Amino acid sequence: MSKPKHDRGLPETEAQAIVSNLRVSPRKLNLVAAMIRNLPAGRAVATLTFSKRRIAHQVKKALESAIANAENNHSLDVDRLVVARAEVGRSIVMRRFHARGRGRASRVEKWFSHLKIVVAERAQEETGTEGGAA
């Protein structure tokens, strides 16, 4: 037996990619996700390529996966894709210990995160040189 079929949760103009259990805290991942929210897809990839954050490489792979899903699975135009949402969620927390002085121990928490990137196809907006000097 297989899982029951269910309708697609996204509109026809959107595609997504989900990455579970990234080894970074949600606060740090949200800083990287905030850099690409509401950017055109090509510009978001360029931003992540030149970011100095360690996790930016994995976020870039997730974004490229969302773009590939949009192109191959849903026949969306890659040139008109925009990062509609970049959602960050908490995952597990590994708890370890760190030996301290006088036989004591401190807790070290190693946070994991989930990431969901949704790209949407937007209509081409005409950008003219309006409001020029008189």
- Measured between its terminal Cα atoms, the distance across the chain in Å is 72
**pLDDT tens track for 54-63:** 999 999 999 9
CA angle at residue 78 from 75 to 12, to 5 degrees?
Answer: 40
Residue with tokens 């996790």: 55
Residue with tokens 């210990």: 97
CA angle at residue 85 from 79 to 88, to 5 degrees?
Answer: 135
Q: Which pLDDT score is estimated for 133?
A: 57
Q: Which pLDDT score is estimated for 129?
A: 54
Q: Which domains does the chain have, with CATH numbers?
A: 14-121 (3.90.470.10)
List, in sequence order, every residue forming a beta bridge with 15; answer none if it has no partner.
Answer: 119
DSSP 8-state symbol, 24:
S
Give this prediction's pTM.
Answer: 0.87
What is the percent of the chain with per-residue pLDDT over 70, rounded to a whole number? 93
Residue 47 has pLDDT above 90, yes or no: yes
Region of poorest pLDDT, from 36-40, 43-47, 62-66, 128-132: 128-132
**Per-residue pLDDT averaged across 88-97, rounded?**
98
**Per-residue pLDDT averaged across 16-22, rounded?**
98
Q: Which helix (H) or strand (E) holds 130?
A: none
Q: Which pLDDT score is estimated for 123?
A: 82
DSSP 8-state symbol, 74:
T
Q: Which pLDDT score is estimated for 130?
A: 54
pLDDT category, 96, cuts 50, 70, 90?
A: very high
CA proximity to 48, closest of 62, 59, 34: 59
Strands (E), 50-129: 81-99, 105-121
pLDDT category, 131, cuts 50, 70, 90?
A: low
